Amino acid sequence: MIYGLIGEKLGHSYSKFIHEKMVDDKYYLIPLSHDEFDQFMRNKEFAGINVTIPYKEKVIAYLDELDTLAKEIGAVNTVVNNNGRLIGYNTDFYGLLYLFTSNQIVVKGKKCLILGNGGTSKTAQAVLETLGAGEILKVSRRPEGDNTISYEECYKNHKNAQVIVNTTPVGMYPNIDNSPLDLTPFTLCQSVVDVIFNPIQTKLTKQAKSLGIKSVTGLVMLVAQAKQAEEYFRGIKLEDAIIHKITEELLNQII
């Protein structure tokens, strides 16, 4: 029974390096088409898996039990196989919360924009609510539901946003010359958080830096969520210090 990561495209992933440094055991990258995903989940031939785009919401239909937090968020990125019973968790919440707090990004009372409306955007909303955001709006190319607006409306009526969180894959390797938003009109913006971790600096965060806006990308989030995932996989407790240790080792590999 294996541990690994499932998703549609995994060529950009650092998860194998992170998990094998964290715990001395094999960790596999398992790219799956939609048809392969269905068969993989039905076969249950794994001890524990992490889940990435585009399966964080689709995987819920295959689970026997949802952790309370995962149920509230409506997205799962970690699944534990407990003797054939599949239990879903959301460790992205811990990872993103850690990214905000370890970088001293202040959210309380502020107007926040979340770019995207997929599984990670739900996690971002939960984190922003936990940190006491004053107002939260999602921005999507296909706006649906409450508090979700188009990019056109965003540029027109919400240039006073103070915190912007990108949960879309726009700007991810190999499409590193793309950006989901032009930050120039957002003159009150104080912080930009991009959950993308490859490249280390995205076009969005580079622009933020050039405008004097505090910006971070998602490498620390990736390592932090992996720490909690391993704790669920193996029933162990790991110290937070391992997050910084492995992030530094990974940066040395990348740069």
Catalytic residues: 56
List CB contacts of 144: < 8 A, sequence separation 6 or more.
117
Q: Residue 9 and residue 30: Cα distance in Å, rounded?
A: 9
- Which two structure tokens, joined as six digits, stand for 18? 């992170």
The CA-atom distances, in angstroms, between 253 and each of 6, 120, 247, 249 are: 23, 26, 10, 6
Asked if 221 and 96 count as a contact pair (C-beta separation under 8 A), the reply is yes
- Which two structure tokens, joined as six digits, stand for 94? 């811990």
